[in-house]
Structures are given as C-alpha cells and as structure tokens.
C-alpha cells in the first residue's frame, strides 16, 4: 500500500526490526505543526484565532491549549536534543541553504509569500531535526544521549 522507501526495514544490533516510516512520520508531523500554525496562504491557526469574535467560546480554548502544548513539546525536544548552540547551528545551516536557493534564483525572499513559505518550512525542518537528532547521533556514534543530572 505504501511505497517501498517509506516502509523499508532494518535490523538493529540487538535483532530488533525497525522501519524508516518513523522518519517520514516525524517529518510530516513537524511540517504540519509549522504550516498549521502559520503560513502565508492565510489558512492557518493564527488567522483563525485572530478572527473569532469570542476567543473563549466553543472549542477555541481547547485548540489554543493543544497548539500551545504541541509547541512546548517541540521546543523542549529541540533544546533537549540539540541544546542552544545546536539549534542555532541548525538554523544557520537552513538559512544558508535558503540563501543558496536565492542565489540560484529558485526562490525570491524579497517576495513576502516565498519568504514566508521558506521560513515556515525551515521551522518545520528545525522541529524535525530536534525530534530526530538523538536518533541520528546514536546511528552516527553508537552512543545514546543522556540527560544531565545534578549530583547532590
């Protein structure tokens, strides 16, 4: 049903079988969060919330809390796996890629819509990299990342 590159499997050293579908799902979720929050087309959460008469009516508070929770989880995952310098370095690399696209004339960041889409997709990629950085680090080095603990 799904294409082969989405369902490709591999065996870990312990014999566990894993699929690459998790990479695509996290990328899709990250881009959905970024694009769903704001995008230049006008069909996004910020536009919806800013144009309601009563922000506390219906499911609006529920939607706001869900969106806030998703962004808090995304930001926590970025800073937990990448830390501040890794997040800054990732943002610089993405910005350099966008600059390269502009230099070759593929996008024009002077145009608000193109710059908005570039920034929104860049934010989605930053969230995705924050979600998967620990997995990538483990694959590259074989070392699991651990949380720092304070000794008493």
DSSP string, 27-79: HHHHHHHHHHH--TTS-SHHHHHHT-S-TTSTTHHHHHHHHHHHHHHHHHHHH
Nearest to 124 by CA among 32, 20, 40: 32
Mean pLDDT for the stretch of residues 116-120: 96
Kindly state the average pLDDT of the residues 69-92: 94
| Contact present, 30 and 131 (Cβ < 8 Å) | yes
pLDDT digit string, tens, across residues 19-30: 778 888 999 999
Q: What is the pLDDT of residue 147?
A: 60
Query: In the block, which residue shows the tokens 């193109």?
Result: 114
Residues in the chain: 152
Residue with tokens 């370095």: 89
Contact residues for 100 (Cβ-Cβ < 8 A; gap 6+): none
Q: How confident is the model at residue 100 (pLDDT cuts 50, 70, 90)?
A: very high
For the question of whether the overall pTM of this predicted structure is more than 0.75, the answer is yes
């Amino acid at each position: 049903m799904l294409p082969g590159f989405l369902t490709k499997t591999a065996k870990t050293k312990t014999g566990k079988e894993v699929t690459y579908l998790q990479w695509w799902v996290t990328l899709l979720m990250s881009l959905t969060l970024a694009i769903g929050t704001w995008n230049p087309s006008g069909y996004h959460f910020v536009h919806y919330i800013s144009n309601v008469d009563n922000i506390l009516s219906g499911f609006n508070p529920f939607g706001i809390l869900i969106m806030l929770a998703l962004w808090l989880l995304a930001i926590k995952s970025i800073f937990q796996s990448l830390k501040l310098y890794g997040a800054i370095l990732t943002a610089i690399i993405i910005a350099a890629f966008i600059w390269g696209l502009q230099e070759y004339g593929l996008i024009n960041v002077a145009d608000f819509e193109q710059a908005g889409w570039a920034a929104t997709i860049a934010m989605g990629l930053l969230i995705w990299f924050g979600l998967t950085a620990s997995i990538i680090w483990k694959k590259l080095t074989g070392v699991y990342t651990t949380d720092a603990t304070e000794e008493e």
